[in-house]
């Protein structure tokens, strides 16, 4: 009988299990890992409910990028079921008002238009330029793996997930009441969800967990530096599991 606790793995925008696969050999030493697919959901509430529908009564969560925002909504819906959480290369703020919000909409619309006009792969080739450490842009194995991941999705997936991101709730309201153990991880060179953003999140969480920085990695740190990320996650999850009473 498997007595390991369950870890629900939530991918980010247009990502799938390929984000987590490089970490599994490490993570499976402490948890029963279950991948999550967001399907065609177009809001974080529906994505979060999908996680809850496929999870056991109690579980741990790991969310990368958009998946981190979904993880926050899972906690919002069912805090009593979440035993611990890893949030990675993600964010908590809603769409900003004024010009900043208009700029983000426009930036995302450019990528969506490119996907419609030239296909997902052309969009992904543009998107990936800001998603890995600059010195990895010529790493054909890494870049091809990311592009292949996007090839498993459709423009409809992209459209719906962009809609979810543009209508995202304020994650600070969840962070400030979070009582389960939390680990924050960020690639040192993440230009989209920088370390400073994770430091701000840490200040909101009552336990002030700090930020585990993955040296030399960008936004796609699980694929750029899987060994380092896996070690941080295994250490964090092992500590969380030791804190849980055996009766749960």
CATH number at residue 188: 3.40.50.1820
Whole-prediction pTM value? 0.95
What CA–CA distance (Å, rounded) separates 92 from 173?
9
Domain count, the chain: 2
Cβ contact 11:47 at 8 Å: no
pLDDT of the residue at 248: 41
In a domain, 45, yes or no: yes
Per-residue pLDDT of the chain (248 residues; tens, 9 = 90+): 458 999 999 999 999 999 999 999 999 999 999 999 999 999 999 999 999 999 999 999 999 999 999 999 999 999 999 999 999 999 999 999 999 999 999 999 999 999 999 999 999 999 999 999 999 999 999 999 999 999 999 999 999 999 999 999 999 999 999 999 999 999 999 999 999 999 999 999 999 999 999 999 999 999 999 999 999 999 999 999 998 765 44
Q: Which residues of 135-153 are buried (b: 16+ CB within 10 A; e: fewer)?
A: ebeeeeebbebbeebbeeb
Range of the domain at 194: 6-94+169-243
Neighbour-count burial of 22, counting CB atoms closer than 10 A to its CB (0-12 exposed, 13-18 middle, 19+ buried)? middle
pLDDT of the residue at 246: 55
pLDDT of the residue at 3: 84
pLDDT of the residue at 217: 98
- φ and ψ of 33, to 5 deg: -90, 130
| Residues 35 and 55 reside in one and the same domain | yes
Task: Give the Cβ contact number of residue 242 at 10 Å.
Answer: 7
Which parts of 24-103 are beta strand (E)? 32-35, 59-64, 82-88
| Residues 10 and 89 reside in one and the same domain | yes
What CA–CA distance (Å, rounded) separates 183 from 57?
21
What CA–CA distance (Å, rounded) separates 149 from 58?
30
In a domain, 248, yes or no: no
In a domain, 190, yes or no: yes
């Amino acid at each position: 009988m498997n007595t390991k606790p369950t870890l629900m793995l939530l991918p980010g925008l247009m990502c799938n299990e390929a984000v987590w696969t490089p970490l599994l050999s490490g993570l499976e030493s402490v948890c029963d890992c279950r991948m999550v697919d967001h399907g065609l959901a177009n809001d974080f509430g529906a994505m979060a409910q999908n996680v809850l529908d496929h999870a056991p009564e109690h579980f741990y969560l790991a969310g990368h990028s958009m998946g981190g925002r979904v993880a926050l909504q899972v906690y919002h819906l069912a805090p009593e079921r979440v035993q611990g959480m890893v949030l990675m290369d993600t964010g908590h703020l809603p769409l900003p008002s004024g010009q900043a919000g208009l700029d983000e909409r426009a930036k995302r619309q450019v990528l969506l238009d490119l996907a419609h006009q030239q296909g997902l792969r052309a969009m992904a080739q543009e998107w990936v330029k800001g998603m890995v450490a600059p010195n990895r842009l010529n790493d054909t194995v890494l870049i091809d793996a990311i592009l292949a991941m996007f090839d498993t999705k459709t423009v409809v997936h992209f459209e719906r997930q962009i809609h979810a991101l543009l209508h995202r709730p304020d994650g600070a309201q969840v962070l400030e009441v979070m009582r389960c153990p939390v680990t924050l991880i960020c690639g040192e060179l993440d230009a989209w969800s920088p370390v400073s953003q994770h430091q701000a999140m840490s200040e909101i969480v009552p336990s002030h967990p700090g930020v585990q920085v993955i040296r030399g990695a960008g936004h796609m740190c699980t694929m750029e530096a899987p060994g380092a990320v896996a070690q941080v996650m295994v250490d964090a999850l092992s500590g969380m599991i030791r804190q849980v009473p055996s009766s749960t």
